[in-house]
Amino acid sequence: MSVTTPKGFAAAGVTAGLKPSGKPDVAVVVNQGPDQAAAAVFTTNRVFAAPIKWSREAVADGQLNAVVLNSGGANACTGSEGYADSAATASRVADRLGLIIDNVAVCSTGLIGVRLPMETLLPGVDAACTAVSTDGGASAAEAIMTTDTVAKQASVSVDGWSIGGMAKGAGMLAPGLATMLVVLTTDAVVDAGALDAALREASRVSFDRADSDGCMSTNDTVIAMSSGASGVTPDAATFQEALTGICVDLARQLIADAEGASHEIAVEVIGAASERDAVVVGREIARSNLFKCAIFGNDPNWGRVLSAIGVTDAAFHADELDVSFNGVMLCRGGQIGEDRSKVDLSERYVRVTVDLHAGHDSATILTNDLTYDYVKENAEYST
């Protein structure tokens, strides 16, 4: 159940010493082939980190042999020196593993605006390259954790081929709470173009619909690599379904471990005139601090849901809106519905359903509540 579940992949996670805690902080995932197809999606933040610039160029030709990842520093807002540091990291992996530097992607996560201590990082890269093994997936997943409390992994096997994945971050692709890094591997035979299309579609309905705190990271990256080692070429629909499943699974794990969260919230918008409208409304609700605080307080405050819907440009009439909490319709036709006392929010999982009564499209945004612990973690993170 890791990035080394599919055949043709090796990985490792080691401690270089970037983190004061002494926990693992450098990971390498290697595609041993025979194929080397790759695709990636990156943060859309216009202020992006040096490794984003490096990896965009590395994956541009649809080929990657390895990804090197570090926690303990984002290497963002570090200028041309920071870019040289990313290049040096990729170069070291290429040297140690006999690869071409342009086929090595780099991911970094941690504090923005601090140079990476290369004298500490590079020996860690050496150690990770030495340690790579076909059962090293779990150690790699552990080495990319920052404020994560658990490592996130997933895998699926279908008709002789499989997909594996790991993720870190308490957030999402766009926007991201903390940096989200995801590496996906498969031994299915999938060319770079098909992999790219499948990855974009899977990300759109998974990571792009997880919204922890509305803040977009400078470093978010999702990379997919195919080794083709199974020798099996799946049909496109089957592969898409499996890849989307893995991405949704990882997105749920990210939200479940979001910083300080005490509730996981699925905001389901139905009856929308378009899927875009459903996403816009769901995201606006998921970003309302007032709504998120209410859930933390076990308060089914549907008025805060309506006030969030009201700032969007989605198609709806205010006097047709229905809002349910865990299946109890507290607001019917924009007015008072069932009594609030019928809703119990003491469980961790909360489902809020909004019916716009404007069409037949729908979307679900995953988010979490706003808690004392969120404030604490983010007030103290860099100090």
The alpha carbon dihedral of 9, 176, 74, 220 has a sign of positive
Does 47 contact a copy of itself by CB under 8 A?
Answer: yes
Residue 277 sits in the site that holds a copy of itself (CB under 8 A): no
For the segment 361-380, give every residue that binds a copy of itself (CB under 8 A): 370-372, 374-380
Which of 43, 179, 218, 364 is an active site residue? Answer: 179
What length is written for the chain? 383
Residue 281: strand, helix, or coil: helix
The residue among 43 and 155 lying less far from a copy of itself, judged by its C-beta, is 43
Site string for a copy of itself, 100-119 (x = CB under 8 A): -----------xxxxx----
Are the CB atoms for 148 and 111 separated by under 8 Å? no
207 contributes a contact to a copy of itself by CB under 8 A: no
Q: What are the backbone angles phi and psi of residue 359, rounded to the nearest 5°? A: 170, -155
Within 10 A of 268 (CB to CB), how many other CB atoms are there? 17
- For the chain, report the end-to-end CA distance as a whole number of angstroms: 35
CA distance 162 to 5: 7
Count of CA atoms in the C-beta half-sphere (13 A) of 56: 13
Phi and psi for 83 in degrees, rounded to 5?
-65, -40
Please report whether residue 288 would count as binding a copy of itself according to CB under 8 A: yes
CB-based contacts of 258: which residues, under 8 Å, 6+ apart?
A: 170, 171, 177, 212, 213, 368, 374
User: Toward a copy of itself, which CB reaches closer, 46 or 360?
Assistant: 46
Is residue 294 within the footprint of a copy of itself (CB under 8 A)?
Answer: yes
Residue 179 a catalytic site member? yes
The yes or no reply on residue 343 touching a copy of itself (CB under 8 A) is: no
Interface with a copy of itself (CB under 8 A), residue from 301, 324, 362, 364? 301
List 122, 177, 182, 366, residue binding a copy of itself (CB under 8 A): 177
Residue 146 marked in a binding site: yes
Q: What angle do CA 264, 266, 268 make, to 5 degrees?
A: 170
Q: Residues interacting with a copy of itself, by CB under 8 A?
A: 44-48, 74, 76-79, 111-115, 175, 177, 213-218, 287-290, 293-294, 296-299, 301-304, 306-312, 316, 318-319, 321, 330-331, 333-336, 370-372, 374-383
Catalytically active residues, by annotation: 179
Report the binding-site residues for substrate. 146, 168, 179, 259, 378, 383
Report the binding-site residues. 146, 168, 179, 259, 378, 383
